[in-house]
Amino acid sequence: MSTPTLSDIDVDVTVTDEPDPAPAQARGRRARRPRRRTWRTNRFAYALVAPAVCFMVLVHLLPAAGGILLSFKNLNTFTFSQLYAAPWAGLQNYRSILFDADNPLHSGFFGAVQNTAVYTFWTVGLTLCGGMAIALLVKRPMRGQKVVRTLMLTPWIVPSYVVATLWQFMWQSDVGIVNKVLVDYTHLLHDRPVWLLGPKTMWAIIIPSVWRGLPFAMLIFLAGLQAMPRELYDAAAIDGAGPIRRFRYITLPLMRPLIAIQLLFGVIYAAYQFAIPYIMFGSNPGDDADLMMTLIVRQSFSNSLFGFGAAASTLLMFGMLVWVLIWYRAFRRDLEATR
């Protein structure tokens, strides 16, 4: 019986001649004291991951593959009863989305792409900048620091459908608290803005998203700030570097890996946003706030254009793959530095 023993465990630094299965894996997922790969320990590890893998393949990956398959099919109200046996459409779904200018789905798709890009840019940008600013604020020693840090997390716990409901109420033009503050109390504006109709609807969904996202960004950046070596700051202060220069030349470079990860997932989650516009405006948020997800869900489930929905989902995923590649090129060096 070759159960792993201490002698097995202590060889973790020796180079094995087997090729590392994933040399370039993101962020160095190395076990702290990896045990030597023997068939026996391997088998145990496989047994441990097997349930999760089987389940995910069955309910996660196979359906996703099915989604790509469906994008090449002509599945709509008339062919729905055939399910996967629906007639092939070849690239027709893609062609009508991307190139058929007469098709209303074409303009709808590109409108949603543009809206999603705007929404993602502002949501992620404001969340990261604001999160960093708040993290710097609450990192300072002050009275009630613990309370402040804990209460700052509150917006993150409020479910997004409650966030959307609440802000929809606050955005009301006549009695909503936002306009009351902006117009009646502070007189910053003279005309009451209409938030829930027309061009401002985009801000009506961006601002609540940022509000809900800030605490999480703050939490992650705060962890990074606390892990930062104190000596660097002291040395810089002695050299006469002011707070702004210290932030620019010490904090920011050291935080790059954390910023990179936040950026990666922030963009993905923002691009897949559904709940906030859906709850605030229903299945059709209008031309100014229709995001990719609301468009796909509406066309698939309200209009039964399943082929279109599947093709649009696939295109959206490709867009995100492109984003990941760009991101990887931009931040590869930072990720390697944290290994």
Partner 1 sequence: MTALPMSARTRKRVIERGLDVLTWLVLLVMIAPVLWLVASSMQTDGNLARGTYDLLHPTFRAFRDMWSTVEFSRYLVNSVIICTAAALLATAFASTAGYALARYKFRGGGTFSIALVGTQLIPGSMFLLPVFLGMVWLGRHTPIHLFDTRVGMILVYTAFFTPVAIYFLRSFFLAIPTELEDAALVDGCTPFAAFWRIVLPNALPGLVATFVYAFLFAWDELLFVAALTEHNAETLPIGMRNFIGNYSQDYGQLMAAGVVSTLPVMLAFFATQRWLVRGLQAGAVKG
Alpha-carbon dihedral angle through residues 89, 93, 99, 102, given to the nearest 10 degrees: 100
Interface stretch with partner 1, choices 23-31, 98-106, 108-116, 233-241 (CB under 8 A): 23-31
Question: Is the separation of the CB atoms in 279 and 196 below 8 Å?
Answer: no
Tokens of 81: 């009863």
Q: Whole-number minimum distance, CB 270 to partner 1, in Å?
A: 12
Q: Is there binding between residue 162 and partner 1 (CB under 8 A)?
A: yes
Ranges within 79-98 binding partner 1 (CB under 8 A): 83-84
Ranges within 106-125 binding partner 1 (CB under 8 A): none
Ranges within 259-288 binding partner 1 (CB under 8 A): 261, 265, 268, 272, 274-275, 278-279, 282
Q: For residue 73, list its beta bridge partners.
A: 88
Q: Whole-number minimum distance, CB 283 to partner 1, in Å?
A: 9
Of the two residues 102 and 170, which places its CB atom closer to partner 1 in the complex?
170
Q: Is there binding between residue 152 and partner 1 (CB under 8 A)?
A: yes
Q: Is there binding between residue 15 and partner 1 (CB under 8 A)?
A: no
- Widest CA span of the chain, in angstroms? 82
Figure out which of the listed residues 114, 237, 301, 326 binds partner 1, where binding follows CB under 8 A. Answer: 301
Q: Is there binding between residue 240 and partner 1 (CB under 8 A)?
A: no
Figure out which of the listed residues 138, 202, 206, 270 binds partner 1, where binding follows CB under 8 A. Answer: 138
Figure out which of the listed residues 98, 118, 194, 297 binds partner 1, where binding follows CB under 8 A. Answer: 297
Q: Is there binding between residue 206 and partner 1 (CB under 8 A)?
A: no
- Rounded to whole angstroms, the Cα distance separating 33 from 19 reads 18
Tokens of 111: 């409108």
Q: Is there binding between residue 222 and partner 1 (CB under 8 A)?
A: yes
Q: At what angle do helices 306-337 and 62-70 cross, to 10 degrees?
A: 130
Of the two residues 202 and 218, which places its CB atom closer to partner 1 in the complex?
218
Ranges within 306-325 binding partner 1 (CB under 8 A): 306, 309-310, 312-314, 316-317, 320-321, 324
Rounded to 5 degrees, φ, ψ at 228 are: -80, 140
Interface stretch with partner 1, choices 96-104, 193-201, 295-303, 326-334 (CB under 8 A): 295-303
Q: State the distance between the two ends of the chain, measured CA to CA, in whole angstroms.
A: 35
Of the two residues 150 and 186, which places its CB atom closer to partner 1 in the complex?
150
- Cα→Cα distances 228→119, 223, 225, Å: 32, 9, 5
Of the two residues 101 and 238, which places its CB atom closer to partner 1 in the complex?
238
Q: Is there binding between residue 241 and partner 1 (CB under 8 A)?
A: no
Question: Is the separation of the CB atoms in 33 and 12 below 8 Å?
Answer: yes
- Rounded to whole angstroms, the Cα distance separating 30 from 251 reads 26
Q: Whole-number minimum distance, CB 69 to partner 1, in Å?
A: 8
Closest CA to 301 of 289, 288, 313: 313
- Rounded to whole angstroms, the Cα distance separating 195 from 174 reads 11
Q: Which helix (DSSP H) or strand (DSSP E) does residue 244 occupy?
A: helix 243-246
Tokens of 94: 């893609």
Per-residue binding string, partner 1, 43-62, x by CB under 8 A, is -xxxxxx-xxx-xx-xxxxx
Q: Whole-number minimum distance, CB 295 to partner 1, in Å?
A: 9
